[in-house]
Chain A
Amino acid sequence: MSNDRPISATKAVRYSDGCHEAAAARVGYGPRMVSGSADYGQAPTPSNIEGVLLLVVVFTAELVPEVRHTLTAAVARAGLSGDEGEDFVLAVHELVTNAVRHGGGSGELRLHRQPGRLTCQVRDHGGGTSADVPALPNANVPGQRGLWLAHHLTGGLTLDTSPHGLTATVSADLCPPDEP
């Protein structure tokens, strides 16, 4: 339904890092480079993200740890490591966890590399989820931190609801070694 809608340009300003702000300004809207023909095992949903498709995973609850490990390796291979790699993995892990808990028990993860940036999109099959990022609850409150973490750790979480479920997207800026 909203699959042809271009992804929102999320805020990428984080940690006042000059390199990352420069990278964010260069986010490419170049030619469509989506490749990959994964075997989904269920109806695939067209991607609305430009870039090179690095990873497609269809997951259920029991696969959550394995998805995280696979994503960690893919993110490191793409050049995002250290604390920023861990933050991005946790952000995506929270979206995956949200999908299995509140989004119908399963979902699909797609990791793309664009010029200077990694973008991960998690789609679930839940209905009626609010498209607002919740505020951080008081430390005394047990729950409700998953989407806040995904938002805070990446500097920008985009949520799109449709009759088919929720699509959550986060990005992280890559710092190319040959940055002038």
Chain B
Amino acid sequence: MSDPANLWHWHSQPHPDRTLVTLAGELDLSSVEQLSDRLTATIAATPTVDVDLAAVTFIDSTVISVLVSAHHAAALAGGALTLLHPTGQVQRVLIITGILPLLGPDNPLAPRA
């Protein structure tokens, strides 16, 4: 049986004004609760969060829900959540659902590095 704990990985690198979160693997219903909790804690520490998706190979609608909710929480706290480097299936899903214009690096709230 697949162990959800081994399907995905989280690494966060805090900086004084922002946090870089690097995700990897497959994210789905089995990971969204933990992903949501960790994003909430990260946003509480620094409201500006960059999420690197380069090593993520699968996301679904439940993951998109968590990312959009985290985006609202970050904006409410005066920051922004920005999705970086999606590829393959992840990029396609973010594009067809219209999420990338809102949360991609070109979104109006994304601070320039």
Contacts and interface: CB of A to CB of B under 8 A. Distances in A.
B7 A149 contact: no
A69 B2 contact: yes
B84 interface: no
Contact of B30 (A64, A139, A140, A153): A64
Contacts of B65: 142-143, 145
B102 interface: yes
A145 B89 contact: no
Interface residues of B, number: 29
Which secondary structure dominates chain B's binding surface? helix
B70 to A, nearest CB: 9
B98 A139 contact: yes
B45 interface: no
Given A64-B30, A97-B29, A101-B29, A83 B92 contact: yes
Contacts, number: 80
Contacts of B66: 142
Given A136-B97, A140-B68, A152-B96, A62 B61 contact: no
Contacts of B93: 90, 149
Contacts of A87: 92
Interface of A, helix, strand, loop or mixed by DSSP? helix
A123 interface: no
Contacts of B99: 139
B28 A93 contact: yes
A86 B87 CA distance: 13
A148 B98 CA distance: 13
A66 B60 contact: no
B102 A97 contact: no
Interface string A141-177: 1110110110011000000000000000000000000
Given A97-B62, A146-B60, 5 more contacts: A65-B26, A90-B93, A97-B29, A139-B99, A146-B62
Interface of B: 1-2, 4, 7, 26, 28-30, 58, 60-62, 64-66, 68-69, 72, 88-89, 92-93, 96-99, 101-103
Listed from nearest, the 5 A-B pairs whose CB atoms lie closest are A145-B61, A146-B61, A65-B2, A139-B102, A142-B65
